[in-house]
Amino acid sequence: MSEETFYVTTPIYYVNDVPHIGHVYTTVAADVIARYMRSLGKPVIFLTGTDEHGQKVEQAARERGLSPQEHCDEMVVRFQQLWRRFNISNDDFIRTTEDRHTAVVKHFLNELHSRGDIYRSTYDGWYCIPDERFWTEKDLAGGKCPDCGREVVQIEEANYFFRMSKYQDWLLSYIEDNPDFIRPDSRRNEMLGFLRRPLEDLCISRPKSRLHWGVEIPFDTDYVTYVWFDALINYVTAPGFTTNEDRFQSFWKNCTHLIGKDILTTHTIYWPTMLRGIDLAPPRRVFAHGWWTVEGRKMSKSIGNVVEPNLLLDEYGADSIRYFILREVPFGLDGDFSHAALVGRINSDLANDLGNLLQRSLGMLDRYRSGSVPASPGDGALGDLTRGLIDHAARTVDEVHGHMEQLAFDRALKSVWDFIGGANKYIDSAAPWTLLKEGKESKLDVVLYCLFETIRQVAVMICPFMPETGHRMFRQLGIADRKELHQISSLKPWGALPGGTRTFRGPALFPRIEHLPEIAMGVGEPADGEKGEGESMPEDEKNRTKARRQTDAHDDLITIEEFAKVQLVAGKVLEAEKVEKSKKLLRLLVDTGEERQLVAGIAEHYDPEDLVGKVIAVVVNLQPATLMGVESRGMLLAAEDKNGIHVLTFREDVEPGTRIK
């Protein structure tokens, strides 16, 4: 990837569409890579927009009693507002009805026509009105459109055609010689297979006798341009093709298109041959990601399981959703959305791992150094434990960069979260509370400085993914106005955080979610008697649904939602001592992702020193209680039989704060 520039695009979304989770997925992915590249100091263009021409737009406008332009002006706002809510940092938003775009489309058409690559001919074949696309007899699937499965109509009319077949051999060789052009490999292989068959010429016009809403063909004003031919050209309009040649050439050579796999053919067959026809190189890379289902089922209004992005934002916030959709599934594969999985990620990864790392660290700095970061230690003051953390940081920066180059967002996030786990283990192993008790002030300063430089590095690396969270962390670290410390380029060498920086404790980054929200209830279940898209509910699903709806005869049974309210986590015992004037009570200081005090009635069965270092099971969302004057913020789990009380522990090491499910 060139060091000079970076250009990333989403598809331009069909203006009639209601924005859904698929639109969000592509746009967030483009936003993350754009933010990351800016953080490296690259000049970036991040383009998104809307596709506003065609027969369906004209028809929808007519039904609403509006002109097509008035209709588009109203509908486009839904996308623009949603992208603001998701903190999308696009540099440009293109609409295919803009003058700058229609001018480039006409230039494109004139160039191809003058070179003899556009010709007029009579077409006799099958036309899918919803897709606005022609098909040959052999293309049809059971006599219907092979893309959408709907009825087609036979049409005979004169139109203009682009000699796409002329470039078949060139395109086949280009894809074979440039393995990174189409990603992932499965999509590349799909297109290579497609090109083993003869490539037809592409019909690029529609007569005004049946469609007016489009870019007029410059050499025959009785026709308008086919909507897909028009739409694809947006990618060269925005960076300045025909208007700013230097800017265009600088960015176009480093262009990445992010698309859904359903529009792979248009972007890797139509588009590169169109570009070849006017002597422009194809984009550097086309990456086709997968689709999202909802709890294993296709999204459908009739099923009632459509994931509405604005409702998700209202319930969870932008950063939680951004993190989930890029962490949950490798980019390129199909993914399944569920509220339970989203809440699980929020509680485990965001609230427990990340949030508790920040809060416990700020708490210790407040107690031990009045919230002021110690000075950066010299190399001679670093022990093996701290060197290990610094080495882990350097590896993480390199890993994240490599994964981002490949658009492996899930792997980049995994690397960062492994580093967060390493930071939590660093706290446990360095045990700053014992250094203070032992009077090892200089060692304590080393640990605290390295911990807060670690947190700064984490904030920098997650900021492209979760910009609100990254900037909240910068504020709590006291470096909100130090923009140079927010950049990926500030992570090497280690130690950019200035000593003496004053931190500020704020509210939890991600409060735990105690139960699934109302918008999660009933996802994937049609109402009684209602069917999904053309098929009845499977028998096993009927049985599960029936079982869920039955009222159980046993009063002591609870639902899974009720059980989910109990937050069980692994906790490491840091300190243990007997409670004065009590024979039964022990006071425990336990690391559950944050330090908390428990009081347990096990003193007759355990000596305090036998518990220190053990990892136990703790309920962390009980109301606090005071026993013998000592506050208890939780409860450990134990079994009692004729031989006494047995505290529940783990046979293997478990990270403190890990959720028990």
At residue 413, the 3 state secondary structure works out as helix
Return the pLDDT at 125. Answer: 75
First to last CA, the chain: 43
Side-chain-side CA neighbours of 452 within 13 Å: the count stands at 35
Reference 635, options 654, 660, 610, 613; nearest CA is 660
At residue 358, the 3 state secondary structure works out as helix
Return the pLDDT at 116. Answer: 97
Return the pLDDT at 541. Answer: 36
Amino acid present at 506: G
Inter-residue contact 504 to 361 (CB < 8 Å): no
Return the pLDDT at 70. Answer: 96
Contacts with 548 (C-beta within 8 Å, 6 or more apart), sequence order: none
CA dihedral sign of residues 33, 39, 42, 45: positive
Q: How far apart are CA 614 and CA 347, in angstroms?
A: 24
Q: How far apart are CA 234 and CA 12, in angstroms?
A: 8
Judge residue 320's burial from the number of C-beta atoms within 10 Å of its C-beta, 0-12 exposed, 13-18 middle, 19 or more buried.
buried
Q: CB neighbours (10 Å) of residue 3?
A: 9
Order of strands, edge to edge, in the sheet holding 202-203?
133-135, 118-128, 153-162, 202-203
Contacts with 411 (C-beta within 8 Å, 6 or more apart), sequence order: 330, 399, 403
Return the pLDDT at 539. Answer: 38
Walk along the chain (661 residues) in steps of 10 and give the mean pLDDT of each run. 81 93 96 97 97 93 95 96 97 97 98 97 81 76 83 87 97 96 95 94 93 95 95 97 96 96 95 98 96 78 72 94 96 90 94 93 93 89 90 96 96 97 93 88 94 97 98 96 94 93 92 80 37 32 37 49 75 87 86 86 84 89 78 87 80 79 78
Reference 159, options 86, 208, 227; nearest CA is 208
CATH topology for 6-289 is Rossmann fold (3.40.50)
Dihedral angle of Cα 454, 456, 460, 465, to the nearest 10 degrees: 80
Reference 80, options 60, 94, 66, 69; nearest CA is 94
Amino acid present at 514: E
Return the pLDDT at 118. Answer: 97
Dihedral angle of Cα 275, 276, 279, 280, to the nearest 10 degrees: 40
Inter-residue contact 163 to 119 (CB < 8 Å): yes
Q: Model's pTM, two decimal places? A: 0.77
Give the tokens for residue 9.
Answer: 């695009």
At residue 658, the 3 state secondary structure works out as coil
Reference 153, options 164, 162, 163, 144; nearest CA is 144
One DSSP character per residue, 434-471 reads HHHHTT-HHHHHHHHHHHHHHHHHHHHHHTTT-HHHHH
Give the tokens for residue 181.
Answer: 């052009």
- What are the tens digits of pLDDT across the range 616-636? 999 988 877 877 767 788 899
Contacts with 474 (C-beta within 8 Å, 6 or more apart), sequence order: 459, 480, 482, 485, 486
Q: How far apart are CA 402 and CA 410, in angstroms?
A: 12
Beta strand segments in 269-386, E: 285-289, 292-294, 335-337
Return the pLDDT at 462. Answer: 98
Q: How far apart are CA 50 and CA 13, in angstroms?
A: 5
Dihedral angle of Cα 104, 165, 10, 128, to the nearest 10 degrees: 100
Q: How far apart are CA 286 and CA 237, in angstroms?
A: 18
**Residue 168 backbone dihedrals phi, psi, to 5 degrees:** -65, -50
Bridge partners, 259 (sequence order): 288
Domain ranges in the chain with CATH number 2.40.50.140: 563-660
Q: How far apart are CA 600 and CA 622, in angstroms?
A: 14
Q: How far apart are CA 417 and CA 458, in angstroms?
A: 9
Domain ranges in the chain with CATH number 1.10.730.10: 340-490
| Domain covering 563-660 in this structure, CATH number | 2.40.50.140
Inter-residue contact 546 to 595 (CB < 8 Å): no
Q: Yes or no: is domain 340-490 CATH 1.10.730.10?
A: yes
CA dihedral sign of residues 328, 333, 337, 341: negative
Dihedral angle of Cα 184, 189, 191, 194, to the nearest 10 degrees: -160
Report angle CA 468, 472, 475 to the nearest 5 degrees: 140
Domain ranges in the chain with CATH number 3.40.50.620: 6-289
Helix and strand totals (H; E) in the chain: 23, 24
302-305, long-range: CB within 8 Å, 24+ apart, which pairs? 302/526, 302/530, 302/531, 302/532, 302/533, 303/524, 303/525, 303/526, 303/530, 303/532, 303/533, 304/522, 304/523, 304/525, 304/526, 304/527, 305/523, 305/524
